[in-house]
Structure 1
């Protein structure tokens, strides 16, 4: 697969997606939206991919939507935005639903759609210099790319409203304290530590990770009885998989499991 707005590399079972429009602070235009969707499909379909890192080239993770390209659409802007968000929404849905854990390695600013992409990832590692802001209402727009779904679940409804209405800029430490970021890393060590975490996850039980991700997402919208039945079915199914069989055997034999076969 050939990409024009991002780079896609798979090494040691880790797929690294680097948003690659540094001259535009990795802002999301139609081409990037299409590329990101295709990259999400590759991550989902390549069996060798067991963990994913998303990061940005240059000084920014992503400044969000490419407002300059949007302004060029004239009367066609509404249709254009629907097209762009259709591709981006498909990418976020695939990253969320796939088995492989997804790590956002946030360098620099993550604004608007950039913040949405970051918080939709399973784990968010932020450089100390990273900054987060919703940014949408600052230019008369509204949240998109799943942020109205994920942000209230992370920080609570009132805090999500406050961040959306005021567009307050969060430092990496602020975002960590609110539960948006899972780890704050010195700038020079961000990708090194993201790769170390991805390597750890790539050696883990990929199918179990995926099932656990889906259970946690479902749990936000289910009754207690429905969710514990979902858990019961999921753990019974997991116990019959090669991963479950290997994990139980390794525990009983007091050795490290080999989930990669």
Structure 2
């Protein structure tokens, strides 16, 4: 495992694991951690050996959002500059990454930390974890894609209420309302997460990337336009080696051995 003061990185069996590593401040972001995460995501995009990505936090929290001590320091950047330079690039990198990204929320996910999790493809959490749109408590608006992703996940009414009140949402409730995929018992969390990401790493990577691209545009297009996009990406998927392997494995009644190409 590679480490610096801000994130940990490990790669094994096609899975790249990124761990936010400021546990003493609940993995809240400073500039160095944000830029380190951006750099690592860019590297992962270029690494064909990576077929799935896991994003989690060190210690008791997933991420408490922005480090307010940094944001309010005498020489601090404007809040909008922090958003533009730190969080918006991360959100775009997560959505543009041509591999599935799993957010494993091991503890509280608050503010930008919650919304970065929701920008991932699949979100799972410990049952003891929670999600908080904490922005209204300090007079800010939800950023890091929160106003984009949360209404699409749980509907406008619930998103409005959670963003305006700043109420804490326990993981099981987040699962029930469709905010996240699954909440796992704490003692089974690590094994369940490992099984999920390893499963994704063994799947047809290009097909998953094309699925992600279609989901990225689905709310912006008409049905006719989306059908045309599906046809385009189905053509791309249909000429991959993994498609041929999948069909052959189906015919031979065996488990496919996908290579990600």
Q: Give the match for residue 41 of structure 1.
A: 42
Question: Residue 48 of structure 1 aligns to a residue in which SS?
Answer: coil
Measured against aligned partners, the alpha-carbon deviations of 1:151-210 in whole angstroms (never above 9, x if no partner) come to 010011121111110111000111011111111111122222111110011000001001
Measured against aligned partners, the alpha-carbon deviations of 1:64-100 in whole angstroms (never above 9, x if no partner) come to 11111111045x531x641454233222212212221
Q: Which runs of 5+ in 2 are unaligned?
A: none
Please show how residues 67-86 of structure 1 align to structure 2 within 5 Å. 67-74=68-75, 76-78=76-78, 81-83=80-82, 85-86=84-85
Q: Which runs of 5+ in 1 are unaligned?
A: none
Measured against aligned partners, the alpha-carbon deviations of 1:101-146 in whole angstroms (never above 9, x if no partner) come to 1111111110001101111111111101101110011100111111
Distance 1:7 1:94 in 2: 18
Distance 1:92 1:159 in 2: 22
**TM value normalised by structure 2:** 0.94
Closer, same or farther: CA 5–113 of 1 in aligned 2, 3 Å: same
- Is residue 7 from structure 1 mapped to residue 20 from structure 2 by the alignment? no
- Is residue 56 from structure 1 mapped to residue 72 from structure 2 by the alignment? no
Q: Give the match for residue 126 of structure 2.
A: 127
Question: Residue 114 of structure 2 aligns to a residue in which SS?
Answer: helix
- Is residue 20 from structure 1 mapped to residue 53 from structure 2 by the alignment? no
- Is residue 178 from structure 1 mapped to residue 213 from structure 2 by the alignment? no
Distance 2:64 2:147 in 1: 18
Distance 2:102 2:74 in 1: 33
Distance 2:187 2:102 in 1: 17
Q: Give the match for residue 210 of structure 1.
A: 209
Q: Give the match for residue 199 of structure 1.
A: 198
Equivalences, count:
259
Distance 2:240 2:159 in 1: 39
CA RMSD of aligned residues (A): 1.6
Asked if structure 1 preserves the Cα contact closer than 8 Å seen for 2:83 and 2:144, the reply is no
